[in-house]
């Protein structure tokens, strides 16, 4: 019998969870219940809040006595993040479902994110119609809008709960109904791409796939970079073709597509072969034109489309992003190459294009020449634009060489 875990505050939302438990059982599945509330639940759970708190080293009775909701939420969230993956490894459940407001969502989603990709995980939340990045992160967690507040059973909430149960139930129960993937399991390569580096990555991808590799492309929009880093650290890839490191421009200058301070670390830490370049390091990303911060008035701005405005980096900014990239590359202990496209780092950093800036690019290149440790990183300078086929093939061939050493 398939088992769906339901995790939530059985003290304040006991009736709602009992209703959902009944729906799961109506599907012919077992409901495995995990109580994340502070007080006594309305029905006996399979896993108590005391067990959840203890997983993170907290005492539930001490939490109750403090009467501090923030402390309780943090403690139980940490416990869930530790305990839920452990329970999954023990085979206690096949998928997980929860629902709640901001508190319930922040309490359970860290645990969902800690589960492997592919494990069904559905969160019905009042927060689902807004920015959900803090809840979803780089996982395959499914957020479902609750439409109404999760506060009682009514004609709307019942429909949403039923659909949520059917969603996770379908993922869990119908898995065997699909024919198994019997295709060849090729070694995976990660690649980063932006619209202005698409030709480059396309050429490299085509070549690597002709040589027996499967290439997964990540859009370097902040979330894409973080996702690639997470999967790299989890051991999914044999090699990394990180040709589009533009997210560092947003991180340093203040754009909207930053990937955080740990970008470009995972391959080095995991000792995975990597070929890195400076794709789209000529630009910082903003939203629509009228959202660009006033402090950037007078800068070279380019309307990429109605929702994205690009800003050309300056020589000083290129020096700073070059220093950050060098810092990350220097974490590598080998099997790392840096390729510099001397005729431009993007489609619009070419002669006659709006971001053509050989002087700015030269500052970036020289910073990397000066700062990168050549004992562990090979630097290759190529007299091409990054989107020239010859550059892309050189990058792909170099990665193959590093992977096959």
> 189 in helix, strand or coil?
strand
Angle at which helix 358-371 crosses helix 315-329, to 10 degrees, equals 30
In this prediction, residue 178 carries a pLDDT of: 84
In this prediction, residue 115 carries a pLDDT of: 96
Domain count, the chain: 2
Order across the sheet with 142-145: list the strands: 30-35, 3-8, 95-100, 121-125, 142-145
In this prediction, residue 37 carries a pLDDT of: 93
Q: Residue 394 domain-assigned?
A: yes
In this prediction, residue 67 carries a pLDDT of: 81
Counting as low any pLDDT under 50, the low residues of the chain are none
Residue 307 · residue 241 · CB < 8 Å: no
Residue whose entry in the numeric block shows the structure tokens 């729906």:
23
Q: Residue 183 domain-assigned?
A: no
**Is residue 235 located within the same domain as residue 112?**
no
Q: Residue 377 domain-assigned?
A: yes
Q: Which domain holds residue 160?
A: 3-177
> 216 in helix, strand or coil?
strand
**Is residue 99 located within the same domain as residue 236?**
no
Q: Residue 54 domain-assigned?
A: yes
**Is residue 223 located within the same domain as residue 354?**
yes
- Residue 25 CA to residue 360 CA, distance in Å, equals 64
φ, ψ dihedrals at 380, nearest 5°: -120, 125
**Is residue 131 located within the same domain as residue 211?**
no
């Amino acid at each position: 019998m398939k088992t769906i875990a339901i995790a939530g505050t059985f003290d304040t939302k006991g009736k709602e969870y009992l209703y959902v438990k009944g729906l799961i059982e109506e599907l012919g599945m077992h409901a495995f219940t995990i109580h994340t509330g502070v007080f006594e639940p309305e029905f006996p759970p399979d896993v108590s809040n005391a067990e959840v708190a203890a997983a993170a080293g907290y005492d539930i009775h001490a939490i109750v006595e403090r009467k501090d909701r923030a402390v309780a939420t943090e403690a139980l969230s940490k416990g869930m993040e530790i305990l839920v993956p452990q329970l999954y490894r023990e085979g206690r459940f096949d998928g997980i479902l929860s629902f709640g407001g901001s508190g319930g969502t922040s309490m359970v989603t860290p645990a969902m994110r800690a589960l492997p990709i592919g494990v069904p995980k559905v969160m019905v939340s009042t927060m689902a119609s807004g920015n959900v990045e803090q809840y979803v992160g780089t996982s395959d967690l499914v957020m479902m809008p609750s439409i109404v507040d999760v506060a009682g059973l009514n004609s709307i909430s019942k429909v949403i709960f039923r659909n949520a149960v059917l969603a996770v139930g379908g993922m869990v129960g119908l898995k065997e109904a699909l024919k198994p993937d019997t295709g060849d399991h090729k070694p995976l390569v990660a690649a980063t791409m932006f619209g202005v580096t698409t030709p480059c990555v396309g050429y490299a991808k085509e070549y690597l796939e002709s040589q027996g590799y499967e290439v997964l492309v990540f859009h370097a929009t902040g979330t894409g970079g973080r996702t690639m880093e997470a999967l790299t650290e989890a051991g999914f890839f044999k090699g990394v073709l990180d040709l589009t490191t533009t997210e560092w421009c947003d991180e340093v200058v203040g754009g909207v597509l930053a990937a955080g301070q740990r970008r470009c670390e995972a391959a080095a830490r995991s000792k995975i072969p990597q070929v890195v370049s400076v794709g789209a390091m000529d630009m910082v990303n903003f939203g629509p034109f009228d959202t660009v911060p006033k402090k950037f008035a007078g800068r070279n701005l380019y309307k990429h489309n109605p929702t994205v405005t690009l800003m050309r980096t300056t020589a000083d900014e290129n020096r700073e992003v070059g220093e950050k990239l060098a810092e990350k590359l220097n974490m590598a202990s080998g099997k790392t190459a840096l390729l510099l496209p001397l005729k431009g780092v993007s489609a619009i950093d070419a002669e006659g294009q709006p971001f053509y800036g050989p002087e700015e690019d030269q500052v970036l290149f020289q910073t990397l020449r000066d700062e990168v440790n050549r004992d562990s990183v090979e630097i290759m300078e190529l007299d091409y634009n990054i989107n020239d086929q010859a550059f892309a093939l050189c990058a792909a061939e170099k990665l193959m060489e590093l992977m096959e050493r």
